[in-house]
Amino acid sequence: MTRDEPADETPADEQLLVLPDDLRNELKEPLGPVETDAERLLEAVDGPIIAVGDVVTYHLLQAGRQPDVALVDGRTKREAVDAEIREAVTAGASLEVTNPPAELAAPVVRALRRALAADDPTTIVVDGEEDLVALPAIVAAPDGASVVYGQPDEGMVHVTVTDDLRDEMRALLERFEGDTERFWALLEDAASNGE
């Protein structure tokens, strides 16, 4: 990035999808049941866990389960998380990427692909925002995997990956603005390597 570029813009070759304004309200609805107790949530888990968000990841770690893939950005509800959470969720972080707010950029999609294919738990530290990564994670994760993300002021949303849900997320992602063809090429690589 040169000094002339605004800090919140992604280089054109790295930007894939941008969340259009008309989808923002639609995405506020949880995609699955909302749980406030991590231990109870874990009772319903059968397979790998992809955690999206610092507080969600922290609660899963506190309940004794390291997510197979965790995406964290050091923030919750647009505020910095406290030091205890930040240290707990970034300990042993494997990958660091940039992903601007309201976007899905190539680096985070590539990191998700690598994390899903890895044998060991992988934490991806995102400079920017990781919220939207739950959508491609649902598409790329294997059947029966759990994608868990935070619902502000409510709890943790637990989504169990199925073919129907994958199709729903594909349709939703098709409504984003940007280079969907390149996005799918990167993500399909993730799905084929992750299974």
What are the binding residues? 54-56, 73, 130, 153
Extract the annotated binding site for GTP: 54-56, 73, 130, 153
Alpha helices in the chain (DSSP H): 21-24, 38-43, 54-62, 83-90, 106-117, 134-140, 163-174, 180-194
Encoded amino acid at 2, one letter: T
Q: Containing H/E element for 149? A: strand 146-151
CA distance 113 to 50: 12
